[in-house]
């Protein structure tokens, strides 16, 4: 193509030749990040999927999802390698008394399933998110609907921003010092709820405020002009429309609550507990007992037991279920948001 | 649109017929109560921040007093005195290690390709070996003295601790109002001056040992056999210099020992610097526990440094690409993709590091074509590099999202003006858009740093958990050494310590340092954004 002969033609210079190189590098950076993320994700999904799914009906490894963790015993029996869980191993030894003499290697937590951990994580998420949403939405209502700019409000906002930057392990120490020791709740579900709730509070407040800001001012003005009180306005004309946004915001919070290990390490998580949280004598006792939780279980099985073919099953399986659970909770609140949003349009 | 305020001006019914009786509680209307309720919720974040500070200080503050006690008994029981000698013996051991390293190198050089047989080489080094063993044996009397005095000092310390336990027992009995039992607890006093006499009286013996050692080493050094290979001469010279320094330090040690006084009190001001500048974190040791945060702090910062070195170019580069170059379709792919990474739980990343990345990086480091990299090849699977790579993945979404926001906030007019003046896209990006958004990008990097410093599970699982300050003498090679971090040590040791013990309080102090550090990082990030905000945005 012949170059046009006008004076503004772009000259080819060093800068021009450099441009595709520099932008190419930045593009490579963007895709490298995605590739790294995908590599981690696929590794967990592929190897964990092998534990959780199976080729025969019902295609899902029900035992893994519905049983408690057990020790795994590996031994040679009549020329075959046997891998039995704790209960099976004991039954086997009763059936074949000679098996007791065969040396068996044991791996803790490597057999059975992770049902108590799933239950524990769900309880932690539901409880702490309820607390955090209640406190967070109320705080956001005050900040957006009532407060006038002033020294006090600036102070509150500064506290919110700074609270968001506090490391999760510091929240763990705080929860340990306050709830576990000072209030005497010991390592319990309740202590975990409050520790996690305070940790996600800034996320919930910031996001709820955004959602409240998105409600048009006319809704408030119109309602007040018709004689409604401030509270009636907020309750009837602001909150319902802000709810979808608030729920979306809580997705971020849920991912954080479910994913953090450090805050629950000394406040709510047990390494192992035989009873499920509701198997207690009185209903209130359930609140003052710790639970097993998926993230803590992953920490335990990846640091306290060796890495080999026998333990890999439970390690990857737990990680996969954990990722899937976080994704599931997030999807639920996205669906919920879309339903609510379809109802209100402005 | 605002309702009439009932407190300031009661509406006159004649003028304003719409009137409603308001229910009042303690002089407040229902509306006021509701507002106060919401206001109370808003205060919670301030309260939580205050409570965090309060409880960290409440549990951690006792550390200073306890550490002072810990340091005083170190002095009172003579452990400090013995440690002077022990350090001398350790310096000597370091010199012998230098010698054996030198021997290994010369042996390798001699038996290397085209070299001689092993026996011949050993024979060649016989003179050197005689020197080395003579050098090593010279310190035997010193080592004997150290172990002898160690036992004395440790015995004094044990007795002191037993007495402390008894005092504690009596205090508890008194608290329970069991006065007779409390009176029955016999608490013997230790006469430290008398107890320390064997240690103090060893000074003349030590002088003799020292003089002998100096004389023997002096003669040995004067007759240092020459190594065959001339390329080792600089190392030999270095050894001689080190050994002379070692000898020159003897009089200072003797002076220290003479001036040493077990009654010199440990001032309250010493306990805090011992924590902040202490180079050892040693717990549950039979000799002396040290609580110094420096190794943990260096560990945290080195891991964060490696993570940021990877994450900043990637995150900022991706942000520039997405914001300035990418088409709308690519943006829709990349932005949610990177935000998805931020939802990865950190413990899953830590597990990935243990299960996959550790081995993969080690295998990579053993490739011959990567031997130029500092520290490669290495054998420790879990180290700064492994943890840093994973932390980079955690920091990237934070840095990317915030940097992209900052780029987005640059006024369109700036970019358009630059393009209209004939600048190319690259020139506009590098000279106009990036400088204009620099404050935002720096604050994004700072917040990424805060995220990385505070991250627990990845470093706990992947950083190797060795409490030591890495060896910086090999240049960049430190990145493949295992370290321990502030977050990691809290998570690892908190579950095992006795409540109220000095170790427990020391962990809360580490938590307090972490808290203050993250607050200041966060604050400076906000400050930078506010200070350098563009006038139009």
Residues A34-46: what's their mean pLDDT?
Answer: 91
Coil, helix or strand for B291? strand
Q: Is B266 helix (H, G, I), strand (E, B) or coil?
A: coil
Give the separation between CA B393 and CA A139, rounded to whole angstroms: 33
Burial A103-135 (b: 16+ CB within 10 A, else e): ebeebbbbbbbbbbbbbbbbbbbebbbebbbeb
Q: How much is the average pLDDT of A64-83?
A: 77
Instruction: Pick the residue from chain A with its C-alpha nearest to B454.
Output: A167
Tokens (6 digits) for B107: 């042996």
Residues in contact with A231: Cβ distance below 8 Å, sequence separation at least 6, in sequence order: B30, B31, B34
Q: Could you read off the pLDDT of A307-333 as tens digits, one per residue?
A: 777 788 888 888 999 988 887 876 776
In chain B, residues with a C-beta closer than 8 Å to the C-beta of A162 are: 49, 519, 522-523
| Interface list for B 12-51 with A (CB within 8 A) | 18, 30-31, 34-35, 37-39, 41-46, 48-49, 51
Asked if pLDDT for residue B168 goes beyond 90, the answer is no
Question: Would residue B65 count as lying in a domain?
Answer: no
For residue A177, give Cα distances in angstroms to A264, B370, B495.
13, 48, 13
Across the interface, of B44, B324, B351, the residue whose CB is closest to A315 is B351
pLDDT at A280 > cutoff 80: no
Q: Tell whether B345 and B247 lie within a shared domain.
A: no
A102 shares contact with chain B (CB less than 8 Å): no
All residues of chain A having their beta carbon less than 8 Å from the beta carbon of residue B30 are 231
pLDDT at A278 over 80: no
B253 and B306 in one domain?
no
A-chain residues within 8 Å CB-CB of B354?
A: 302-303, 307
B59 lies within 8 A of chain A by CB: yes
Chain A residues closer than 8 Å to B48 by CB: 159, 163, 198, 201
Higher-confidence residue of B16 and B431: namely B431
Mean pLDDT on B135-147: 80
The b-or-e profile of A219-257 (16+ CB within 10 A means b, else e) is bbeebbeeebbbbebbeebbbebbbbbbbbbbbbbbbbb
Least confident of A26-35, B180-189, B383-392: B180-189
- Single out the residue of B213, B231, B232, B209 nearest to residue B221, CA to CA: B213
Structure tokens at B38: 């919401």
pLDDT band, very low/low/confident/very high, at B537 (cuts 50, 70, 90): very low
Q: Does B421 touch chain A (CB under 8 A)?
A: no
pLDDT greater than 50 at residue B227 = yes
CA distance B123 to B117: 10
Q: What is the pLDDT of residue B3?
A: 47
Task: Measure B268 CA to nearest chain A CA, in Å.
Answer: 25
Q: Are residues B391 and B523 in the same domain?
A: yes
| Averaged pLDDT for residues A214-239 | 90
CA R_g for chain A: 27
pLDDT reading at B491 higher than 80: yes
- Residues in B touching A231 (Cβ below 8 Å): 30-31, 34
Lookup result for tokens 């063993």: B133
Chain A stretch 12-71, residues whose beta carbon is closer than 8 A to a beta carbon of chain B: 15-16, 18-19, 22-23, 25-34, 36-37, 40-41, 43-44
All residues of chain B having their beta carbon less than 8 Å from the beta carbon of residue A45 are none
Share of chain A above pLDDT 70, in %: 92
Count the residues in chain B.
537
Residue B98 within any structural domain of the chain: yes
Q: Are B459 and B355 in contact (CB under 8 A)?
A: no
Indicate the number of domains in chain B: 3
Contact B32, B23 (CB under 8 A): no
Mapping DSSP to helix (H, G, I), strand (E, B) and coil, where does residue A74 land?
strand
What was the pLDDT predicted at B22? 65
As given in the structure block, the two tokens for residue A3 are 């170059």
Computed over every residue of chain B, the mean pLDDT equals 83
pLDDT value, residue A1: 53
Q: Are strands A69-77 and A105-112 parallel, antiparallel or unpaired?
A: antiparallel
Q: Are residues B419 and B389 in the same domain?
A: yes
- Tell me the whole-structure pTM to 2 decimals: 0.86
Residue at B70 is within a domain:
no
In chain A, the residue whose alpha carbon lies closest to the alpha carbon of B58 is A177
Please check whether residue B93 lies inside any domain of the structure.
yes
Distance, in angstroms, between B40 CA and closest chain A CA?
A: 8
The reported pLDDT for the residue numbered B487 is 93
Q: Identify the residue whose tokens are 């995605």.
A: A34
CA distance A216 to A207: 17
Q: What is the pLDDT of residue A7?
A: 67
Note down the domain range covering B128.
Answer: 78-261
Domain holding B380: CATH number? 1.10.3720.10
Between residues A137 and A95, the one the model is more confident about: A137
Residue B43 shares a structural domain with residue B163: no
DSSP B42-99: HHHHHHHHHHHHHHHHHHHTHHHHHHHHHHHHHHHTTHHHHHHHHHHHHHHHHHHHHH
Residues facing A269 on adjacent strands: A291
Residue-by-residue DSSP string for A100-160 = GGS--EEEEEEEE--HHHHHHHHHHHHHHHHHHHHHHHHHHHIIIII--SSHHHHHHHHHH
Determine the average pLDDT of the residues in A132-143. 92
Domain check: are B134 and B209 in the same one? yes
For B5, phi and psi rounded to 5 degrees? -80, 120
Contacts of residue B427 in chain A, CB cutoff 8 Å? 15
Question: What is the model's pLDDT at position A345?
Answer: 61
Task: Name the residue with tokens 């993320």.
Answer: A37
Instruction: Answer yes or no: is pLDDT of B304 > 50.
Output: yes
> Is residue B7 included in any domain, yes or no?
no
Contact B45 A29 (CB under 8 A): no
- Co-location of B179 and B301 in the same domain: no
Average pLDDT, stretch B59-75?
A: 84
Least confident of B78-82, B349-353, B438-442: B78-82
Q: Which residues pair with A81 in a beta bridge?
A: A76
**Which band of pLDDT confidence, cut at 50, 70 and 90, is reported for residue B1?**
very low
Mark whether B232 and B366 lie in a shared domain. Answer: no
User: How far apart, in whole angstroms, are the C-alpha atoms of residue A147 and residue B36?
Assistant: 11
Longest Cα separation, chain B: 123
Tell me the percentage of chain B whose pLDDT exceeds 90. 25
A167/B508 CB distance under 8 A: no
Q: Are B485 and B300 in contact (CB under 8 A)?
A: yes
Q: Are strands A105-112 and B28-29 parallel, antiparallel or unpaired?
A: unpaired
A185 touching B (Cβ < 8 Å):
no
Q: Could you list the beta-strand ranges (E) of chain A.
A: 69-77, 80-85, 105-112
Alpha-carbon dihedral B32, B38, B44, B45, rounded to 10 degrees: -120
Interface contact B353, partner A, CB < 8 A: no
Whether residue B237 is found in the same domain as residue B327: no
Same domain, B50 and B118: no
Radius of gyration of chain B (CA): 33
SS3 B457: helix
B279 located within any domain: no
- Judge whether B241 and B118 are in contact, CB under 8 Å: no
The confidence score (pLDDT) of residue A3 equals 53
Residue B254 resides in a domain: yes
- List the one residue out of B96, B85, B126 whose CA is nearest residue B239: B96
Q: Is the pLDDT of residue B185 over 60?
A: yes
Among A173-187, B85-99, B195-209, which is the least confidently predicted range?
A: B195-209
Provide the pLDDT for residue A5: 64
> B393 and chain A: CB distance < 8 Å anywhere?
yes
Given a cut of 50, whether residue A69 has pLDDT beyond it is: yes
CB contact under 8 A, A231 and B396: no
For residues B123 and B207, membership in a common domain is answered with yes
B376 touches chain A (CB under 8 A): no
Residue B271 maps to a domain: no
Distance CA A216, CA A344 (A): 12
Reduced to 3 states, what is the DSSP secondary structure of residue B28?
strand
* Co-location of B132 and B94 in the same domain: yes
Note whether A259 contacts B343, CB cutoff 8 Å: yes
**Residue B462: which of B353, B376, B340 has the closest Cα?**
B353
Helix (H) or strand (E) holding B25: strand B24-25
């Amino acid at each position: 193509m012949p170059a046009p002969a006008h004076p503004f033609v772009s000259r080819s210079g060093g800068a021009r030749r450099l441009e595709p190189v520099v932008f190419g590098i930045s593009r490579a950076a963007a895709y490298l990040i995605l590739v790294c993320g995908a590599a981690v994700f696929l590794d967990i999904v592929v190897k964990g999927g092998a534990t959780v799914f199976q080729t025969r009906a019902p295609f899902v490894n029900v035992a893994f999802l519905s049983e408690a963790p057990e020790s795994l015993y590996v031994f040679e029996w009549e020329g075959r390698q046997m891998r039995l869980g704790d209960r099976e191993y004991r039954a086997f030894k009763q059936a074949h008394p000679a098996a007791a003499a065969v040396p068996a290697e044991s791996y803790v937590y490597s057999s059975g399933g992770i049902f108590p951990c799933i239950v524990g994580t769900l309880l932690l998420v539901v409880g702490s998110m309820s607390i955090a949403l209640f406190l967070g939405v109320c705080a956001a209502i005050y900040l957006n609907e009532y407060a006038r700019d002033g020294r006090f409000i600036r102070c509150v906002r500064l506290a919110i921003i700074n609270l968001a930057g506090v490391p999760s392990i510091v929240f763990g120490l705080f929860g340990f010092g306050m709830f576990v020791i000072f209030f005497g709740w010991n390592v319990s579900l309740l202590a975990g709820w409050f520790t996690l709730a305070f940790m996600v509070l800034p996320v919930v407040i910031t996001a709820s405020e955004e959602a409240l800001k998105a409600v048009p001012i006319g809704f408030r003005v119109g309602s007040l002009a018709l004689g409604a009180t401030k509270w009636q306005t907020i309750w009837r004309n602001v909150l319902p429309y802000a709810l979808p946004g608030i729920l979306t915001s809580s997705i971020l919070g849920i991912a954080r609550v479910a994913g953090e290990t450090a805050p629950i390490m000394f406040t709510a998580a047990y390494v192992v507990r035989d009873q499920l949280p509701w198997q207690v004598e009185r209903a209130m006792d359930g609140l003052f007992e710790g639970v097993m939780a998926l993230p803590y279980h992953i920490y335990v099985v990846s640091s306290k037991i060796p890495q080999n073919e026998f333990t890999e099953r439970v390690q990857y399986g737990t990680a996969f279920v954990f990722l899937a659970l976080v994704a599931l909770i997030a999807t639920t609140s996205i669906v919920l948001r879309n339903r609510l949003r379809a109802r209100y349009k402005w | 649109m605002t309702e009439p305020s009932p407190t300031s001006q009661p509406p006159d019914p004649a003028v304003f017929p719409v009137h409603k009786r308001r229910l009042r509680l303690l002089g407040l209307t229902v509306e006021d109560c509701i507002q106060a309720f919401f206001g109370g919720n808003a205060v919670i974040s301030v309260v939580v921040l205050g409570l965090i500070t309060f409880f960290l200080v409440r549990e951690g503050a006792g550390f200073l007093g306890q550490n002072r006690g810990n340091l005083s008994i170190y002095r009172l029981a003579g452990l400090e005195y013995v440690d002077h000698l022990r350090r001398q013996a350790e310096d000597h051991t370091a010199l012998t290690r230098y010698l054996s390293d030198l021997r290994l190198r010369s042996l390798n050089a001699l038996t290397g390709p085209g070299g001689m047989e092993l026996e011949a080489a050993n024979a060649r080094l016989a003179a050197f070996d005689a020197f080395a063993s003579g050098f090593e044996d010279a310190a035997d009397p010193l080592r004997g003295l150290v172990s002898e005095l160690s036992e004395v000092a440790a015995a004094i310390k044990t007795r002191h601790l037993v007495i402390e336990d008894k005092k504690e027992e009596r205090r508890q009995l008194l608290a329970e109002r069991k006065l007779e039992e409390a009176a029955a607890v016999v608490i013997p006093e230790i006469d430290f001056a008398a107890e320390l006499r064997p240690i103090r009286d060893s000074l003349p013996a030590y002088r003799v040992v020292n003089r002998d050692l100096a004389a023997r080493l002096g003669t040995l050094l004067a007759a240092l056999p020459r190594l065959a290979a001339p390329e080792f001469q600089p190392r030999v010279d270095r050894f001689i210099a080190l050994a002379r320094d070692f000898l020159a330090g003897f009089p200072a040690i003797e002076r220290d020992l003479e001036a040493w006084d077990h009654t010199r009190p440990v001032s309250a001001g010493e306990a805090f610097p011992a924590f902040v500048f202490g180079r050892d974190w040693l717990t549950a040791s039979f000799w002396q526990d040290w609580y110094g945060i420096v190794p943990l702090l260096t560990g945290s910062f080195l891991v964060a440094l490696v993570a940021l070195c990877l994450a900043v170019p990637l995150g900022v580069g991706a942000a520039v690409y997405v914001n300035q170059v990418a088409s709308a379709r690519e943006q829709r792919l990349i932005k949610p993709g990177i935000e998805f990474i931020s939802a990865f739980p950190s413990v899953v990343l830590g597990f990935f590091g243990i299960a996959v990345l550790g081995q993969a990086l080690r295998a990579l480091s053993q490739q011959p074509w990567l031997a130029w990299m500092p520290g490669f090849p290495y054998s420790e699977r879990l180290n700064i590099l492994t943890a840093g790579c994973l932390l980079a993945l955690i920091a990237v979404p934070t840095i990317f999202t915030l940097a992209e926001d900052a780029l987005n906030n640059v006024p369109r007019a700036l970019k358009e003006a630059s393009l209209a003046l004939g600048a190319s896209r690259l020139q506009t990006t590098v000279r106009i858009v990036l400088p204009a958004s620099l404050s935002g990008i720096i604050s994004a990097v700072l917040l990424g740093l805060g995220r990385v410093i505070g991250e627990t599970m990845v470093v706990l699982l992947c950083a190797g958990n060795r409490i030591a300050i890495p060896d910086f003498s090999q240049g960049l090679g430190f990145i493949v050494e295992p370290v321990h971090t502030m977050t990691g040590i809290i998570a690892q040791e908190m579950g095992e310590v006795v409540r109220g013990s000095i170790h427990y309080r020391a962990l809360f102090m580490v938590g307090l340092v972490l808290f203050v550090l993250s607050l200041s990082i966060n604050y400076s990030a906000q400050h930078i954004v506010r200070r350098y905000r563009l006038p139009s945005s």
